[in-house]
Amino acid sequence: MDSLIVFDMDGVLAEVTESYRESIVQTVRYFTGKTVTRDAIQDYKNQGGWNNDWALSQKIAADFGTQVDYDTVIEKFNEFFLGEDGNGLVTRESWFPQPGLLERLGKTYELALFSGRLRYEADITLRRFAPDVKFAPAIFADDVAAAKPAPDGLLEIRRQKPGHKLWYVGDTVDDARCARAAGVPFIGIATHTHTKRDELIRLFQQENAVAILENVNEIEGA
């Protein structure tokens, strides 16, 4: 049976602490005048159900006592994240895979993506860091009816790749629950710099992760 490694993007392939996470901080600060800590953001993420950073920004603002229309949150968040013509916080992202890793994996496995990003957001980062890597299929938030932790994206990949053994590599409890719901083995990423690493590892273990790695560059050994 052919094997297919499905990667999440944020926190797995792309370092997003200073892009998406900082966009949450700046969006919440804009509407509330208050600063949410990175630890607090991770606490929300570990609850599950907060894969959408626009919805999370709205929720945090509400918890700080400020109700903001969802579309207004999206508009301001994107001003911070995208800037003008892609010169916003997205430019602060870096790429986790070391040179040659994905190319080596691609010789043994097929590679795919299932990310909670919208396709146009993902394209910015993929064009910058991995223009020659073939992810097929690549499924994004605008391709599925229900976001993670729903398994829609993984089920669509399985539909497009019948007869393949799937593995899903992610960094949040929603990724793990998505994989479990789809019946796909899950490999968790928990970096040593993670603000809630011990808790995240415990959550991954509860979701029966088949491996928990420091970063994606350890995947060959797993």
DSSP structure string for 48-110:
SS---HHHHHHHHHHHTT----HHHHHHHHHHHHH-STT-SGGGG-EE-SPTTHHHHHHHHSE
Non-local (6+) Cβ contacts of 37 within 8 A are none
Model pTM above 0.85 = yes
* pLDDT digits 0-9 by tens, 163-220: 999 999 999 999 999 999 999 999 999 988 877 899 999 999 999 999 999 999 999 9
User: 1 pLDDT exceeds 90?
Assistant: no
Q: What is the mean pLDDT of residues 107-125?
A: 95
- Pairwise CA distance, residues 55 & 36, whole Å: 15
Nearest to 184 by CA among 205, 158, 163, 161: 158
Burial, 52: exposed, middle or buried (Cβ in 10 Å; 0-12, 13-18, 19+)? middle
> What is the CB neighbour count within 10 angstroms for residue 109?
16
pLDDT, position 192: 83
* pLDDT digits 0-9 by tens, 182-191: 999 999 999 8
Mean pLDDT of the chain: 95
Non-local (6+) Cβ contacts of 26 within 8 A are 80, 89
